Structure 1
Amino acid sequence: MVKILTAREMKEIDSKATSEYGIPSLILMENAGIRTVEVIEDLLESSQSKKVVVLAGKGNNGGDGLVVARHLMNAGIHVDVFLLAGSDEMTPDSYTNYQILSRMSRNIFPLQVEEGLDRLMLALLSCDLIVDAIYGIGFQGQMNDFDSQIVRMVNWSKAVVVAVDIPSGVEADSGRVHGEAIRASHTVSFALPKIGLLLEPGKDYVGTLSVADISIPAPLLQDKNLKTSLISEAMVMYWLGPRHPESHKGTFGHALLIGASPGLSGAVIMAAGAALKSGAGLVTAAVPESLLGVVDAGWMEIMSSPLAESKQGTIALEALPLIEGLLGRASACAIGPGMSRFPEAPAILHSVLKKAGIPILIDADGLNALAEDLNILKDHQVPVVLTPHPGEMARLTGKNIEEIQSNRIAVAREFAQQWGVTLVLKGNKTLIASATGEIFLNITGNPGMATAGSGDVLCGLIVGLMAQGLRPLDASIAGVYLHGLAGDRAAGIKGQRGLLAGDILNSLPDIMQQFER
């Protein structure tokens, strides 16, 4: 499991490395600079002139840049250093490195004066590589006009750009960019990746990401209080694997899907297919009785159950006794795919949550029903998984979509903890929030998966994994990861533009096979 950090968490780790382990902060700065130099030397290997420009701000990020400059000079590389702050503004460690460097070189130039910009422009035109050490992970908001002008000059340059820890102008916790930001060719992040390096739009400024070991003690990087992680193949491999020879269909659980309505029966068909292909031993689709033939035609392998329906063809309250019986025979249930919005939907959802003794996944129109009365969640006695897209999340929280998208991690974490659920917030870099505040960020998938039915496939995949005995949180993590892999495989064959949910579904068996070895 790879942890990813906020700026505050990284600063606390740095502080503990010094206070608890006695590692001087100057040593950490030295290590950061050396690791960055190792990346730079590889990048300059084929360069003839080997000219480097280092842009250093007033903070410790600037100090890292000064260490980089010193080691490059010692390696015989021509380095011009441009300071965006006076020595009296520097942090103590940065000032120490400034003093060392100023005794070694006269190629240190202040940028606070107009002629400094002219000199910088000439240097940028002739250099091979630029080191961005202007702003570090503590940066938030928008940089001033002068610094913005420098960033634009760097971005106009044709030189390779290496960002120290994070591209200047990108917020470490969110990936947000307000105004200008360095467009790096390479970013060297220290100890662990920062969240903003992995989220759009920040990710688009990172270039190739390297994570460098600066000798932070391992226990600090493995602290259980670090609650944000990347989903990895190893995590999913741990939960999946070869099946025991003595298994039978009952061994692998019974997934129940409740949903469908006129014109939307395909949602349940897609979800049922994904539950089957996830490896669930049995799958039942409970749908309005007039749609039974349509659903039966979708998959020969599923069982179906006709539910009493309203005049509009939606599930009627009279279906609740039968639904209760179905819940008693299932291992996990998903409610909502294709269900549509109708007045009785909240009451049906409430009854399912109240009567169920199995994990429940709420998706699509089930989420719309929930948004009408969130107090429905107060009565749940079983694990609940919610799988909203940003629009559904906006309805659940009362926030607008822009607020959701600009604070995805914080919004998801707060909601999951408040209501005691596992929350799968779909979208680019789908994330899973646990009821205890953990966040798991997914990096599989592609834009082609933004297509009708893709969410239904994910719904069926997760409920199928829950039916097989995975904890709801684990099933959500694995389901999201596998769903993205299947989408990537399908896009590799079909392309992204013409990708269909059925293509993702059909790629699942090949993806699942990778985890059986």
Structure 2
Amino acid sequence: MAHSTSAATQRIDEDWLRHHPLPQPGAGSDKESRGHVLVVGGSPQIPGAILLAATAALRAGAGKLVVATCEQVAPLLATALPEARVIALPQTADGALAVAGVDDLAELTGDIDALLVGPGMQHEATTVAFARRLLAATACPAVLDAYAMGAIPSASRPHTVVTPHAGEMAHLSGLSKDEVVQRPCEIATAAAEDWQATVVLKGAASWIAAPDHHAWLHVGGNAGLGVSGSGDVLAGGIVGLLARGLPPLHGSAWGVALHARAGELLAQRIGPLGYLAREIADALPQVMARYG
């Protein structure tokens, strides 16, 4: 499919990245200056998604990390991710995070610089209710992924990023997947305006749209990025960049660009297919170093 750009559209390419540099820590900076991230998600059946997202947030340069997950998963996650504080939240009988668990995060809501909700969470209705309640309790930039994106049409919350692929956008918008694939820029831009959020409509060509009608296009990466867990890494990378101070539109654009370039690096190192999502996260620092 050919992609054209309008007057209001920018292409996210090497020239764009050079003219919109990442913030660089000063000589005396510490973990506090690089931002405090809260990642909420996980379930007994999908415990790895939150591990991938949380790891990517740190790999993207965030300084402090708190992870909140269901009580069944928390001990395993604490062992797998020693860099994080891990909070065990109550879960329902079917493995979803209980909405009442938002209250257990009250002490953090004024202390975090960026929030990610959704990776690995099960049961859409419960996840949406949890995400809405948590968004209402926080004011920092937020990224919604997977089922948590269902909270955005009624959230009316500024500084929020949603990261759907075409199928998820179809579900959120009520359109068919074919419509989304055929009119990605128009649909992403309309959704961003309707939801007053930054929309990352991800794919081989990713459209990043802001509520002010700006639409940015990124084309790159490779087929190997289409692997289980890759979207969790992208969401984690974006929230890490938001914690470092990038606004939602720029943080989303950089997150997409770094994710794609990590895939390109791994294709050269390992092969075009078969590298793992965890390896995408691990490649982010090397890719960022090119632009330091």
Whether TM exceeds 0.5 here: the answer is yes
Counterpart contact for 2:41–2:120, Cα < 8 Å: yes
Q: 1:463 aligns with which of 239, 249, 261?
A: 239
Q: 2:122 aligns with which of 340, 346, 349?
A: 340
Q: Assess, with a 3 A threshold, how the Cα gap between structure 1 residues 241 and 469 changes in structure 2: closer, same or farther.
A: closer
Counterpart contact for 1:241–1:515, Cα < 8 Å: no
The structure with the larger Rg is: 1
Residue segments in structure 2 that go unaligned for 5+ positions in a row: none
Amino acid at match of 2:186: A
Counterpart contact for 1:370–1:396, Cα < 8 Å: no
TM-score of the pair, normalised by structure 2: 0.95
Which residue number corresponds to residue 384 of structure 1?
160
Amino acid at match of 1:230: R
Which residue number corresponds to residue 447 of structure 1?
223
Which residue number corresponds to residue 236 of structure 1?
17
Which residue number corresponds to residue 66 of structure 1?
none
Counterpart contact for 2:23–2:244, Cα < 8 Å: no
Q: Find the aligned partners of 2:118 and 2:23 in 1 and give their Cα distance.
A: 30
Identity of aligned residues (%): 33
Counterpart contact for 2:129–2:151, Cα < 8 Å: no
Which residue number corresponds to residue 84 of structure 1?
none
Local SS of the residue matching 2:110 = helix
CA-to-aligned-CA distance 1:93-137 (integer Å, 9 cap, x gap): xxxxxxxxxxxxxxxxxxxxxxxxxxxxxxxxxxxxxxxxxxxxx
Residue 497 of structure 1 deviates from its aligned partner by 2.0
Q: Find the aligned partners of 1:274 and 1:429 in 2 and give their Cα distance.
A: 21
Residue 325 of structure 1 deviates from its aligned partner by 2.6
Alignment of 1:404 with 2:180, yes or no, is yes
Which residue number corresponds to residue 356 of structure 1?
138
Amino acid at match of 2:84: I
Q: Find the aligned partners of 1:385 and 1:470 in 2 and give their Cα distance.
A: 12
Amino acid at match of 1:392: E
Q: Assess, with a 3 A threshold, how the Cα gap between structure 1 residues 370 and 495 changes in structure 2: closer, same or farther.
A: same
Which one has more relative contact order, counting CA pairs under 8 Å at least 6 apart? 2
Counterpart contact for 1:239–1:470, Cα < 8 Å: no
Residue 354 of structure 1 deviates from its aligned partner by 1.4
Q: Assess, with a 3 A threshold, how the Cα gap between structure 1 residues 327 and 236 changes in structure 2: closer, same or farther.
A: farther
Q: Find the aligned partners of 1:352 and 1:320 in 2 and give their Cα distance.
A: 6
Q: 2:282 aligns with which of 492, 501, 506?
A: 506
CA-to-aligned-CA distance 1:349-401 (integer Å, 9 cap, x gap): 1112211110111001212x438xx32x23x2x31100001111000111111
Residue 327 of structure 1 deviates from its aligned partner by 2.2
Which residue number corresponds to residue 306 of structure 1?
88
Residue 329 of structure 1 deviates from its aligned partner by 1.7
Amino acid at match of 2:222: N
Counterpart contact for 1:324–1:352, Cα < 8 Å: no
Alpha-carbon RMSD: 1.7
Alignment of 1:414 with 2:190, yes or no, is yes
Local SS of the residue matching 2:286 = helix
Counterpart contact for 1:346–1:370, Cα < 8 Å: yes
Counterpart contact for 2:42–2:119, Cα < 8 Å: yes
Which residue number corresponds to residue 259 of structure 1?
41
Q: Find the aligned partners of 1:317 and 1:502 in 2 and give their Cα distance.
A: 29
Q: Find the aligned partners of 1:361 and 1:307 in 2 and give their Cα distance.
A: 20
Q: 1:276 aligns with which of 50, 58, 82?
A: 58
Q: Find the aligned partners of 2:130 and 2:69 in 1 and give their Cα distance.
A: 13
Q: Find the aligned partners of 1:235 and 1:428 in 2 and give their Cα distance.
A: 18
Residue segments in structure 1 that go unaligned for 5+ positions in a row: 1-173, 176-194, 199-224
